[in-house]
Structures are given as C-alpha cells and as structure tokens.
Structure 1
Amino acid sequence: MVKRRGRIAAFLLLALSLVTACGGSPAAQTGQGQPTVYRVRRDTLEVRVSGSGNLQPHTLVNLSFPQSGIVRKVYVRVGDSVKAGQVLAELDTRDLELQLQNARINLEIARARLAQVQASARSRPADLAAAQAALANAQASLDALKAGPDPRDLEIARLNVEVSKNALWQAQLSRDKTAGTPGVASVDLQLAQARVGQAELQAEIARLQYEKATSNPTEQQLKAAEASLAQARANLIRLQAQDPNLDIQLAQYQVQQAEIAVRQLELRLEQARLIAPVDGVVTAVNIAEGGSAGTGAPAITLADLNQLEVVVNLPEVDVAQVMPGQEAEVIPEAMPNTRLKGRVVAVAPVGVQTQGVVNFPVTIALEESTPSVRAGMTVQVQIIVARRENALVVPRRAVTTRGGQAFVTVLRGDQTEQIPVRVGMRGDTMVEILEGLREGDIVVLPATTAAAQGTRVPGPGFFGPGMFR
C-alpha cells in the first residue's frame, strides 16, 4: 500500500514538473476520471449573482395632449433627436384664442368695478353726511306741515293782501285820471289799464297765499312728506349698513376669479403644444396633421437612448447581497463576447410574488455602450457582490468538509496529506483559504468527469493526457 502511494506521488511530481515546463499553469488535470493537481496562488476572487432582462432607456416619456382637439402641426418624425423645450406638435387653438380674448375683457371689467367700489368707499363719509342732512330736512318739512303755519307767516300773508289791495286801488285811480284827461293818447290809456290788470292779479295771488297759509295741510301733502321722510331714512340706513371693506373684498375676489379664468385659458393654450421635457430621440409618433388628438393614448414618445439600463429579478437569497453602487457586467445575448460595464443603481425594497416565488427587481445602469447595443436587447447581467484582492485561492472542489471542518489534500514531497484549513470567501469556482495553506503549495483535486478548460499537457503513464487549471 505504501509502495502504491509513493508511486502515485511520483506521478504527481512528474505532472507538476510538466506544469513548470509548459509555462507554470497552477493546476493540472489528467485524463477523464483521474486526479488533478493545483498550485496554490494569490488572485482576485469575485462573488457574483446573475440575472437577465431587457435593456431599456433610463428616461422614457409618453407625451399626450391634456385636451382633445384637431392636430394643426407635427414637427418631428420617428428617429429625430430633439432638445428639451423643443415644440413637437400643436393643436388648432383659434377657438381658445377667442375665449382668452373674452376672458381678458371680463378681467378689465372686474378691475373697473373694483376701482368704482374703492372710489365709493372713499366718498362714503360725504354720502353719509348728505343722507343725514336729507333726513333732517324731510323730518322738518313733515313737522312743519303738522304744526300748521307760523303766526309771523300768517301776518306777512295778510299784509301782502293789504299791500296788493292798495296797489290795485292806486292803479285804478291812475287809470281813471288818465281816462279823464282831455286828448289823452290811446296808448297811455291802454298802459294805465294794463297796470290795473297787473295789480288785480297780484292782489289775487296775495289772497290765495293768505288762504293757503291759514288752511290746514291736506292728507295728500302729509303722505307725500311722510314718504319723503321714509325714503331719506332708508337711504341713510342703507349707507350705514354698508361695509365698504366687504364690498372691496368682494370686488377683489371677482378680479381674482377673472385672472384665474385668463390664466386657465393661457395654460390651455400652452398645453395645446407638445414640448419635449428632456433631450432624447423620438421613438413613436401616433398623431397626424388634420387628425384628432385625444387625451388617452400617447401622441409622441421620447427616449434618452444614451442612458440605458436593465431591470433583473433576483431571488431572495441573491438580492440580500446586492446593494446600489456595486459593479456589474452586462452581456448582450446577441453578442456574447461583448462585456459592458454597469452599476447597480436601485434595489426594490419590496419583492414581487409570482406563482409563489418572490423576486426583487434590481436596476443596473450601463456605464458604457456601443452603437450595436440597443434598447430592447436581451442581456445577461452579472453583479459583483464581493471582491477580494490578493486572496489565497484554490478550486472549490479541492475543499472537503467533515464534521464541520474543511480539509484539502496537499502533496508533501512524495506523499499526499489531508490538512485542515479555514475557508474565507467563496466564489463560483474558487474559494479563499485563510489558514492552513501557503502560496505555492500543491493540492490534489478529486477526480471529475467533466473536462476543464486550461492548458493541455501530454503526460504518459498512469495519468495519461492531462489538463492544467
């Protein structure tokens, strides 16, 4: 048995010497089902999680009109590059422009009403004084009617009657004297007669005024005076009840309403134009000049094709290792030899359950691109969740575990020996050794039925043709 172990070790040493002669490959595998040797070395060890998805623009904007109408003009076509703020299409706005003109007129009317109310408020003290004076005057007139004539007014009226009688008597004497004068001219006689007629009229007026002064007021006069008093009182109460501040506030609200109506129509005019919110490329145009535009389906779609990203769904066990900022490799399925740099930008805080399986969407942004890579392509993504530089590594299959302790088989001279090791980070194919091995040690890997990639080295004898890993 010892002899056979030494023989195996000798062949292993022979394989190792062939490794050195062929360029120092760290590991060697013999023919199918035969042992493999591996030289322990330091290397960069990475742990990756993978997923697949489709590339999509980071920014994809579906633009639609907030109002329906007839399309007047479309300024872009699919594939056009546009800048933020550029007008893409517009509706027919002639009716809106007329509505806006009418709203602006209503605004000026409201402003004029406000100015009128403000002017009335400034004149309110004078209006109150005038109303109070009118009320006092109406009250005095009614009181005078009810109290009857003033004695002094009666005496004046009586004296006026006497004066008018005397004037009439004098006019009559003058007429008679003129008429009795021989050779009097006809015109002088007529003039004297006219003076008598005028004196008679004045006497009648004085008499009527005296009768009026001595008579009591009629019911009609009292009602008229009472109506005037009531009207003057109501006018004063109305002025006193009015709050000019409330009137001004109401007029100001009406101005604000008119301003809002104008702004709404101005906004509708602005919304009648589709304007690019970002730089991008037109990917769809769903409207035509002269056709109708609704408020449902997108009219024009923009995409920023310079910033592509992919969303992959990772299971719970993998997403726990992923966080924003981690590096990633993006590999288009149509171009498997293309490796693009990416970076994790978002990890969904809530998973999505599909058929009982919970996945978490993870967004990876491309940090580089090539013209042949386009939105919509299916890609494979490998996220680097851990990296250890200058780690002491061996293949994962070199490590066996018994009773919770990890072991590797090491070639010592012409003998193999299993030694305990402490394992660190584990990659897909390699594992880090923290304790138990040194750089340059030769470990023996268990037999495998799968051919490995590496440098093939011919080896006669027990091992047969080999391959070094």
Structure 2
Amino acid sequence: MKNPLALIRSIPWKTVCHAVWRFVRRRWKLLLLLAIILLPFIALGFYLFAPEKLEYITAEAVRGDLIQSVEAVGTVISEKDLELKFPVTGVVEEVYVKEGDTVEADQVLAELRNNSLEADRSSASASYQAALADLRALEEGTRPEEIAIAEAEVENKRAALAAARATLENAERSLGRSQGELDQLHREAETSLSGYVSTAGSTISQELTDIENSLNELDDYFDTTVIKNAVEFRSRIEYEIYVRKREETGVAIADALLGSRPADFEEALLNLGTAREAALHAVAAADDAYTIMVSLPTSNYLTTATKETYKDSFAGERNSIQSALNDIEDQLKATRDASANFSTQIATEESAFATAQGTKDKALADITTYETSLRVQEAQLALKKAGARQADIDAARAAANRAYAGVRYAQARLDDTVLKAPIAGRITKVNLKAGEFTGDFEDFNRAITMLGDSPYRVKMFVSEIDIPKVQYEQEGGVELDAYPGRDFLLQVTEIDPAATSVDGVPKYRIKLDFLENEEKNLKIGMTGDVEIITGVQKDVTMVPGRSVIKNALGQNIVRILHGGDEIEERTVVVGMESDTDVEVISGVEEGEKVVILIKE
C-alpha cells in the first residue's frame, strides 16, 4: 500500500495551478454569471436550514400595592320616591314611624310577628353551639379522667357479668334440688294413694254405668205407647227439652268414662270431678223426666193406677241416679282428703321450682345483656384510648358548618320580618297598622313610602365572574361622560341575589349611592365608567397575570428566565388578582424575570 503523503507529493502542483489559471482567464465571464446566479440560492439555503433562535417576552417581578377592581358602565337613576314592602307576608306586630317622620339609613320602620322565627333562630343557634362543642371535644381528645371512668365502667360490667353467672349456677342447683323433691313426693303419693286411685277408677266406671242404665230405663218408659201419646198430647215441648239434656248427658258420661283408669292421684281427682259433672247433668235430666211424668193427665189409657206405677218407676230411677252421684262425691272427697297433704307439699315444691326457673331465666337474660354491654363498653374504652380520627373531626367540622348555615338561614328569615329604611329620608305615607295582614306580594297598598335625601343612585350590571368580588359597603367612583376627568365617589348599597338577562347574557344588577350630595350636577340617564375597588393588598410581590400558567398536575407555575435562554419552571402560590397582575405569595422574588410569552 502506497504512502498517501508520498502520493500527494508526487502530484505536479505547479502544472495543475497553471492549467486552472488558464481556464479562469478564458471562461471568466461564464464563471462570474454562475456566481451571480448561485449566491442567492446559497444564502437562502443557509437561512432556511440554520437553527431557529427563540425570543422571550418577559417582565420583572415587582413589589408594590395591588388593587383589584370591577369595572362596568353605570347609569344614573332616581330612587327619590321609595315604596317599601316586606319580602314575606304576615301579621304586622308594630309600626314605628308615621307620616312626616325623618329616618336614617337602616332605621327599623315596621316589624311582623316573628316569635316562631325567633324560636327557630334560637334552636339553630343552640344546635350550632352543640356542634361546636362536639368538634372541640374531638379536637381536644379524651382526657385521662374520662379514660379512667371508662375503665371503671368496664370493670363494673365485668363484675355484674360474673354475678349473673354465679346467680345462674345457684338457680340451676336449686332447680335440680326442687326437681328431686318433686319426683320423691310423686313417688310417695303414688305409693300411699294407689288404693284410692284404683277405687276412684272403679267408682267412676260403676256409678256412671248405673247412671247410664237408669237413663236408658227412663228412655224406655217414654217409648211406651201410653206415655208417648200422653207426652205428645200434653208435654211435647218439655219432652223435647228433656231429650236435648239427655243427649248432652250421654256425651258427658261417655267422656267421663274415658277416665276410669287414672294413672295417679292427681289424674284420679281430675277424672272424679269430670264424672261428678256428668252425674249432675244426669240428675237434672232425671228431674225433668219425673216432672214431665207427674204433669201428664190421666185418661182412659193412662189411668190413675198406671200413672202412679210409672211415677214410682221414674222416682226409682231418679233416686238411683242421685245415689250414684252421692257415691262419686263421697269417693272424690275421700281421695281429696287422702291426697291433701301431698298436694300441699307438691304445690309448695312446684312453686319453689317455678321460682328457681324464673331466677335461671332472668340470670340467662342478664348474662346476655351484660355480655353485650361489656363489649360495647370495651369498644368505647378502646375508642377513647385511640383518640379521634381525622375523618371524625372533619365530619364534626362539617356538621358545625351545616349548623352555622342553619343559623344564618334562620337569621335571614327573621330579618325578612323587619322593614328598614334603605337610605336616609322622610316618610311620606304609611299604609300598615299593627294587627293587620300584609296581604300578598301584589298588594302594593300595604307599604310604606318615603322620599330619600339622596335621590340619585348609579345602576350597573356586572358579569357572574366578577359578582363574587363585590360586597356591600365597598367604595368606588364613576367618571360620567358629561364630566370627563372628574370622579364621583360611590358606595355599594344593593346587590341583586338573582341574575338579570342583559342582551341574552346573565348579569347581576348592583346599585351604588353617592357619598356626597351631587343632586345639582346629576341628571337621570347620565352614563359613565364605574370602578368598584374590591380589594387592596399592600406591599406584595406581583407578576403579570399572563405569566402564571398551569402545569400537567394542575399546579400554578411561572417560568423564570436565567441568563439569556435558560428556563426554570417554578411552582407558586398566588393570592389576589387584578385585571393585569397577580399577587405571588411564595415562589418568586422581587426582581426575577418571568416569561410571559415565548416566540419561535
């Protein structure tokens, strides 16, 4: 491979230069023409493809007084004659002025009955104070004394739970003892009274069977032709009554016979009582049968002898039934007397058993109640030791704010019942009397009219963006077109609560009063530029409003220019804004250059 340097040295440079010079001398005109044509294109290429240089429009952060204002066109209006009405209806409580009286601004002219509204305000105020107390309690936290009290209450609940469990154990022991005593008494009674129980069963069976047989005999007597005809002729209704009683008695006897085999003395007593009731029914039926027989008249068929024979037969059956009843009652008395001692002891023990059962049930209920109460008390103690959560504090603060809003609402409703003079002036007419109803809102006769000392005001309309800045008693001025260069001082005295459509745009009407008597210089309809001073910040750092922008996170930032082209994005906290400038609370120092616009 040849050496490049040696190759260059081998070129005949002298010959080459001589050849180029001869070419230029022969073609110089052509070369000059090409240079003239190509140079603009070369310059344009350098211009188009050269790197762009950014241009920064900046401003300096300054320190001074920042004034915020709201501006709009105002019109001079006249409100010399004012017709004042209550914004609500009601009964007039008191009228404090009469025609010809001179009044000051905000002087009370009349008042409606408002006892209920005053009570609402007091209630709302009390609720607000309670909400504030709850909020303070959460913010201050739980005191050590309160925790000690809560711990003592937990111990009391535990002691009460332990006592209830001990009561339950005692009640269960008492139940077991009472059950054993009852079982023993029942065994003793069963052994001692077994003979009475057996006799009671046989007595029930025997005597009820005898009664049923006697009743059947009576039925047979009534079925004989002689008696049947006589009954049909003389005592048909009485016989029908007897038949019903007989049927009821038969049913009672059948039910009573089911108890002819009692298991113990208590059942024997119960069954003997049932048998006695059935026997009583039978006695009543036999008495009715005998009465019917006695009342039957004699006839060719029912002779006196025949009737006497049947009377004796009816009487015999009635006596048999009565005798059976007596036997049942004797057996009932004997069994009751024999079992009286056992019944008393069993009743006493059953009462003790029921008492123990009641004590047990109450102890179980108390245990459930105390367990629940203990869990609640332990949870409350844990809450007191843990302290209030921030969410609870925020909720309590929201409740306090809501209660305060309730106070303001109640106060606003109360204020609507008081009619005040909006400006100073003289009362010209009073159409209200104490005790009268104000009428509806269209009843313009129920009003107070007055003549204002300052008859002229300025009316202006501001946008919904600016209306939050405007407050009562803010001052400003108006430069009327009729008096260029002269400012008339004003004060905000009225702000409409609702928007008014102006050329299809919602705006809010504001009325301002002149601070000085300018009546001789003003005419209705004059217009001018009104400026209301809505805020002043003394000695603050401020930057142009266009220099404050939002980043991707929604934070306010400004771009600080260092040197000639170094940009620093810095987060700032802004305050009050004017039409052109913004107060910077932190983030920018006086004298720093902030970027308003970057031109490329």
When the two structures are superposed, what TM-score results if normalisation uses the length of structure 2?
0.27
Structure with the bigger percentage of strand: 1
When the two structures are superposed, what TM-score results if normalisation uses the length of structure 1?
0.34
